[in-house]
Amino acid sequence: MLNISGLNEGIVLDHIQAGKSLDIYYHLGLDKLDCQVAIIKNARSNKMGRKDIIKIEGPMENIDLDILGYIDHNITVNIIRGDHIVEKKALKLPQKITNVIRCKNPRCITSIEQELPDVFYLADEKTETYRCMYCEEKYNKNV
User: Residues in the site for Zn ion, rule: CB under 5 A?
Assistant: 103, 105, 108, 132, 134-135, 137
Closest CB to Zn ion among residues 35, 135: 135
Measured over all CA atoms, what is the biggest interatomic distance in the chain, rounded to whole angstroms?
Answer: 52
Name the H helices within the chain: 21-27, 65-71, 109-112
Nearer to Zn ion, 71 or 103 (CB): 103
The conformational region for residue 49 under phi > 0 = left, psi -120 to 50 = alpha, else beta, is left
The nearest distance, CB 113 to Zn ion, in angstroms, is 11
Which lies closer to Zn ion via its Cβ, residue 16 or residue 97? 97
CA angle, 25 then 30 then 59, to 5°: 120
User: Least Å distance between CB 98 and Zn ion?
Assistant: 13
Shortest Å distance, C-beta 111 to Zn ion: 7
